[in-house]
Chain A
Amino acid sequence: MSTERQYALGALFGPARFDIGQFTPYAGRLRMRVVEVGPGFAILALPYDEDLVGDPQRKVVFGGAVTALIDQASGLAVACAMDALLAIATIDLRVDYLRAAAPGREIVARADCYKLGHNVAFVRATAWDTDPHDPFASCLGTFMVGAGIGGSPFGGVKRPEGGQP
């Protein structure tokens, strides 16, 4: 008998094997892509696009686009910490902008779910443009898990693998 923990999305762990935009229209609109997922973490990328610019003078991506990437990565990180998929809803996010993101570069965000409780999940995330050790944004988020909020948004992610949504 294995004592290893079973994860609901365990079959997907590793480098990207699914298209997040297929399940989340806004992630698809921004052309977000999954870089890697694993136990309790998710890494997503947001390709640079002129449409995402929030400061026309400096050509910097709008902070809210970074928030969207971090929110998406954080929700996925929570799903990746679960042994059975439950609904996830963001309670709050605090994003600190450490510096401006470099214009013209793809943005990458990594979210880690460091505590999954019965009701609330806690997530830390950072976003960078070149070097993971030189992030331009850092975030703390809390998420409500389970009960009455309409099923997991990641239920569909699991289906192609043959598991129960």
Chain B
Amino acid sequence: MNRLVAAIPYARLLGIDVEETRDGPECVLPFHGDLIGNTRLPAIHGGVIGSFLELTAILRLVAESGLDSVPRPISVTIDYLRSAGPRETRARGEIFKLGRRIAHVRVIAWQDARDRPVAAANGKFLMA
């Protein structure tokens, strides 16, 4: 998984890491100052959170499907549940359906505790 991250320039820009846990792969977004969207709160940029969720979905799909190219997003919906503070964010993706052409993935991101998510996404990807 980390080899795929290394091959995607935008994943390197964000500084994403993948950790293998007992419950499967978990993506980690370490905090750095460039990721800030709102300096007053401060909070991580909504676009960073959206990117992180989309990337987590893609990495999960590649791991499950064995696809040798990056799945193309059709539609991604992101719900912002809490403001994401200046600290590490983690995310995990779950595949609802892996069809021959379309895959449906749900991703949750959290900071302090997994049961207090900062954002959730629902993505549809073209696998062909």
CB distance from A126 to the nearest CB of B (A): 14
Binding site for B on A (CB under 8 A): 23-29, 50-57, 61-65, 67-72, 75, 89-97, 100, 149-151, 153, 155
How many residues of B are counted as interface, with CB atoms below 8 angstroms from the partner's CB atoms?
40
Q: Is B75 a contact partner of A51 (Cβ separation < 8 A)?
A: no
User: Could you list 11 further interchain pairs (A-B, Cβ under 8 angstroms) beyond the known A62-B51, A63-B73, A95-B77?
Assistant: A24-B45, A28-B34, A51-B10, A54-B55, A63-B54, A64-B50, A65-B51, A68-B47, A95-B73, A97-B74, A150-B41
Q: Is B9 a contact partner of A25 (Cβ separation < 8 A)?
A: no
Task: Kindly state whether residue B25 has any CB partner on chain A within 8 Å.
Answer: no
Contacts of B39 in A (CB 8 A): 23-25, 153
Q: Is A93 a contact partner of B78 (Cβ separation < 8 A)?
A: yes
Contact for A94 among B69, B70, B75, CB less than 8 A: B75
CB distance from B97 to the nearest CB of A (A): 19
Task: Kindly state whether residue B116 has any CB partner on chain A within 8 Å.
Answer: no
Task: Kindly state whether residue B7 has any CB partner on chain A within 8 Å.
Answer: yes
Residue in B closest to A154 when the chains form the complex, CB atoms: B38
Q: Is A67 a contact partner of B40 (Cβ separation < 8 A)?
A: no
Q: Which of B12, B40, B83 has the most CB of A within 10 A?
A: B40
